[in-house]
């Protein structure tokens, strides 16, 4: 029974604006609310504006996650990922989801974001017609680029150009269709737009301007686009990037006042008591903002309101735009369109590709456009927001130098910048927040500032400004060009930490953090799991595994799913099972009402949708070893039938696979490890994309290492060729232990091999004596391990970890 007196806060929307408000609230009043976040996407909170960087190859999907799954659990937040709220009952203060959940609230935040506007063209429902709004769209583009080569982007605005550049990076031919006669007409004047177009054409983009889309061609899948002027353009993928609309349907149905967006006052309150709105879905003083900085400002005000902290409210924002396209620097802020009564000043250098324009009215700067050189963008934006008089300083603002005056250095510009100026637009970090991180929290490098505030942690465009502020505030104490440690808690890297643990015989996480002078005495979700692994790897006999320092999946020995349930995967050695084993799994699945039983790619059965409190009893009744599908350990050993049945098989791949799996099950590794054994060079078990792959040949075995079949596919390198099964085990033991002792935490063998080189690994393992020593160490480690469930099912104290935190809520 939950006896807490905390108020219940429900956030509808797991996006950037709403979660930022929760982050602020946790700092201001960490114990005030029981928080539930409901998100329609099956992902943790991620940086949507970085999707273009994912497409362009500058970041992976994992790298754009702002708050990972552990963050929610660490902060006591219940996350319902993959749930869409279908109804709000403001009388009884409850929300309902499409997955049958009912959640009560005392305060409700609507952060439903916006929906992409899809042109109602004939054929818009065909396969291959998408928006560019979320991870699913991003994944669709990446998958399409593998099969097709011609893409059409409808929309020559900011989002459309970012999508087009990403598709170019993926190897597609890209045509950008735009109804206006120049690009980005909402942010740029015609001169800057023409310069931008010329640069993008050099990069390979094709532009179709003054084009009005008519019909999407094709039968089931799109084959092209026709225009109202009778012309056509061929294409295998059409991306619509023509604008967004605030998502207000849920609020409208609940009787909340809606105009273009959900109408809010200066404190982000809607027309219904205890219901708030923030982000792209909110309309404040007639404006619905689509850029991140205003949304973060709204979130800060809302957090103060919910925490009972005095605030003057949100007064609206002046916006700026930066184009994140490789090789192109574009900045725009305020009014660029020269309204009546204004005057403009311009500077253009066609040779160096630089264009600057400022717009003035009543001796105030009201707008600016920069192309090619955007270094003055932050200063100009600051002057626009301040509303100060710039009389006599116009040329200085345009050129950076007033007649007869000495040049203003970048440092002087930063010093003159107000504290509320946003430095990192991606994460909404102000100059004042960075100053506090340096002066109060003791950050001395860009890496430490990033860990503390997230500034420069996304697109990286603000890094020069962060470096400048570091120099101003830290002075001689600033660590320039500092290498980044394993996290923001330390400047030490993996090798330095391991060396110090060995040298000083440190035997606990707390001891490591204390002796090596961790900045945060309790560490963080990045360093604690890594230290837990390094200590266990170095001192297998003495170190007691610290369960609370493991990631969520490893703590509960099951994979958490998007709806908060778990998946259970018992080990099936080499993919070989029996009728009695299958019957046992089926009976357990029926008893615990498992919603889905699925064959995995690793030749096992996955029981999906298991409640956390059922996990101990389910494992007890299965009475099978865990397949460790959740851990940084040996996952699977995939096999083909080999010489046992196949007419092409040259060796017993099933027997070899089962032997390897039994040899290395329960082995903790820096990252997950997958093995495979193929019975002939036809490679049906896909051994050449595994961490350790074995391929049978006439009279022996090829041993392959460093493969990856995930997002970044990597074929293996050939390690060696051996003759006997015993030699396969010998080399596998040596390789895995060498990887365990030398790779960084969370580093797959594919990344490790690319970093150190296959030749270095071959040299390290060429000595039989060294292989023997490595093998002895791995066997010693394995002799000390047991299946985690054997301990949990016997220990009532451990079982309590799996009890539900609150009673189930019912309708």
DSSP string, 62-81: GGGBSS-HHHHHHTT-EEEE
How far out from the chain centre does Cα 452 lie? 18
> Are the C-beta atoms of 764 and 738 separated by less than 8 Å?
yes
Pick from 234, 226, 209: nearest CA to 121: 226
Residue 485, pLDDT score = 79
Using DSSP, state whether 446 is helix, strand or coil.
helix
> Are the C-beta atoms of 237 and 143 separated by less than 8 Å?
no
Which residues does 641 contact at the CB level (< 8 Å), separation at least 6? 649, 653, 654, 679
CA distances from 626 to 477, 633, 795 (A): 50, 11, 17
Pick from 712, 741, 603, 715: nearest CA to 704: 715
**What is the third-level CATH fold of 327-402?**
Enolase-like; domain 1 (3.30.390)
- Within 10 angstroms of residue 234's Cβ, the number of other Cβ atoms is 13
| CATH of span 129-241 | 3.50.50.60
Looking at the chain, the number of H-run helices and the number of E-run strands are: 28, 36
Residue carrying the six token digits 């990856």: 708
Distance CA 464, CA 453 (A): 16
- Within 10 angstroms of residue 782's Cβ, the number of other Cβ atoms is 16
Instruction: Note whether 7-115+246-307 and 628-786 share their fold.
Output: no
Token pair listed for 49:
């504006």
* Sequence-separated contacts (24+) of 215-219 with Cβ below 8 Å: 215/121, 215/122, 215/123, 216/121, 216/122, 216/123, 216/124, 216/126, 216/129, 217/123, 218/123, 218/126, 218/128, 219/126
Query: Which CATH number is 7-115+246-307's, of 3.50.50.60, 3.90.1170.40, 3.40.50.300, 3.40.50.12280?
Result: 3.50.50.60
Distance CA 806, CA 564 (A): 14
Distance CA 398, CA 347 (A): 7
Spelled out in words, what is the top-level CATH class assigned to the domain 628-786? alpha beta
> Are the C-beta atoms of 550 and 602 separated by less than 8 Å?
no
Distance CA 38, CA 14 (A): 6
Q: What is the 3-state secondary structure (H, E, C) of 300-341?
A: HHHHHHHHCCCCCCCCCCCCEEEEEECCEEEEEEECCCCCCC
User: Could you tell me the residue ranges of all domains in the chain?
Assistant: 7-115+246-307, 129-241, 327-402, 422-476, 494-543, 628-786
| CATH of span 422-476 | 1.10.10.1100
> Are the C-beta atoms of 210 and 176 separated by less than 8 Å?
no
Residue 212, pLDDT score = 95
Residues of the chain with pLDDT under 50: 1-3, 402-405, 805-811
Residue 424, pLDDT score = 82
Residue carrying the six token digits 């170190």: 543
């Amino acid at each position: 029974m939950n006896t807490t007196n905390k108020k219940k806060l429900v956030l509808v929307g797991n996006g950037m604006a709403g979660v930022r408000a929760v982050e602020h609230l946790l700092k201001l009043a960490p114990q005030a609310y029981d928080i539930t976040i409901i998100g329609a996407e099956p992902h943790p909170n991620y940086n949507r504006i970085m999707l273009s960087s994912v497409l362009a190859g500058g970041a992976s999907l994992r790298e754009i996650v702002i708050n990972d799954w552990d963050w929610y659990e660490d902060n006591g937040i219940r996350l319902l990922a993959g749930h869409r709220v279908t109804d709000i009952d403001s009388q009884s203060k409850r929300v309902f989801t499409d997955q049958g959940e009912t959640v009560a609230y005392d305060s409700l935040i609507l952060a439903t974001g916006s929906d992409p506007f899809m042109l109602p063209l004939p054929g818009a429902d065909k396969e291959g017609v998408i928006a560019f709004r979320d991870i699913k769209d991003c994944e669709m583009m990446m998958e399409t680029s593998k099969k097709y080569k011609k893409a059409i982007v409808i929309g020559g605005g900011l989002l459309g150009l970012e999508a087009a550049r990403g598709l170019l990076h993926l190897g597609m031919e890209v045509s950008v269709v735009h109804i206006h006669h120049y690009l980005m007409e909402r942010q740029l004047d015609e001169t800057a737009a023409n310069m931008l177009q010329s640069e993008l054409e050099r990069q390979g983009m094709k532009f179709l301007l003054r084009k009005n889309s008519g019909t999407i061609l094709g039968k089931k899948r799109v084959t092209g686009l026709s225009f109202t002027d009778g012309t056509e353009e061929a294409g295998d993928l059409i991306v619509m990037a023509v604008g967004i609309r605030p998502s207000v349907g849920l609020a409208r149905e609940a009787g909340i006042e809606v105009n273009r967006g959900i109408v809010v006052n200066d404190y982000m309150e809607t027309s219904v008591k205890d219901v708030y709105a923030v982000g792209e879905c909110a309309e404040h003083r007639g404006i619905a903002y689509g850029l991140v900085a205003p949304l973060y400002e709204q979130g800060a005000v809302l957090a103060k309101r919910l925490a009972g902290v005095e605030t003057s409210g949100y007064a609206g924002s002046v916006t700026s735009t930066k184009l994140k396209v490789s090789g192109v620097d574009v900045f725009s802020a305020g009014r660029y369109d020269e309204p009546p009564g204004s005057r403009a000043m311009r500077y253009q250098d066609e040779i160096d590709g630089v264009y600057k324009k400022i717009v003035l009215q009543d001796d105030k700067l009201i707008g600016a456009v920069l192309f090619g050189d955007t270094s003055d963008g932050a200063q100009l934006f600051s002057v626009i927001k301040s509303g100060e008089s710039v009389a006599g300083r116009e040329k200085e603002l345009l050129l950076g130098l007033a007649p007869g005056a000495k040049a203003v250095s970048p440092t002087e510009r930063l010093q003159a910048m107000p504290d509320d100026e946003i430095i990192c637009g991606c994460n909404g970090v102000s100059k004042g927040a960075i100053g506090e991180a340096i002066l109060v929290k003791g950050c001395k490098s860009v890496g430490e500032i990033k860990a503390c505030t997230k500034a420069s942690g996304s697109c990286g465009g603000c890094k020069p400004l962060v470096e400048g502020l570091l120099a101003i505030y830290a002075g001689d104490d600033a660590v320039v060009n500092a290498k980044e440690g394993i996290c923001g808690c330390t400047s030490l890297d993996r090798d330095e930490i391991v060396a110090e643990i060995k040298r000083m015989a440190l035997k606990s996480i707390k001891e490591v953090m204390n002796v090596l002078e961790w900045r945060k005495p309790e560490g963080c979700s990045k360093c604690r799991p890594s230290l837990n692994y390094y200590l266990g790897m170095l001192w297998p006999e003495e170190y007691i595994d610290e369960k609370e320092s493991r990631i969520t999946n490893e703590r509960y020995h099951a994979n958490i799913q998007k709806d908060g349930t778990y998946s259970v995967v018992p080990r099936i050695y080499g993919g070989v099972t029996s009728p009695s084993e299958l019957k046992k799994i089926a009976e357990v699945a029926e008893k615990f009402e498992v919603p889905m039983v699925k064959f995995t790619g690793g030749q096992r059965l996955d029981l999906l949708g298991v409640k956390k409190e059922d996990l101990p009893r389910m494992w007890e009744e299965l009475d099978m070893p865990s397949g460790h599908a959740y851990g940084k350990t040996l996952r699977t050993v995939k096999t083909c039938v080999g010489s046992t049945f196949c007419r092409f098989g040259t060796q017993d791949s099933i027997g070899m696979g089962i032997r390897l799996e039994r040899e290395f099950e329960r082995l903790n590794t820096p990252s997950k490890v997958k093995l495979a054994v193929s019975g002939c060079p036809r490679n049906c078990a896909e051994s050449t994309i595994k961490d350790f792959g074995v391929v049978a040949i006439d009279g022996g075995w090829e041993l392959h290492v460093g493969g990856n079949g995930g997002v970044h596919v990597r074929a293996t390198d050939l390690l060696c060729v051996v003759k006997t099964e015993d030699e396969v085990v010998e080399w596998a033991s040596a390789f895995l232990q060498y990887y365990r002792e030398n790779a960084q935490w969370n580093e797959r063998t594919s990344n490790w091999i690319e970093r150190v080189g296959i030749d270095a690994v071959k040299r390290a393992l060429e000595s039989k004596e060294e292989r023997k020593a490595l093998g002895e160490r791995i066997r010693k480690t394995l002799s000390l391990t047991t299946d985690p469930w054997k301990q949990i099912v016997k220990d009532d104290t451990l079982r309590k970890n799996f009890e539900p935190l609150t009673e189930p809520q019912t309708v």
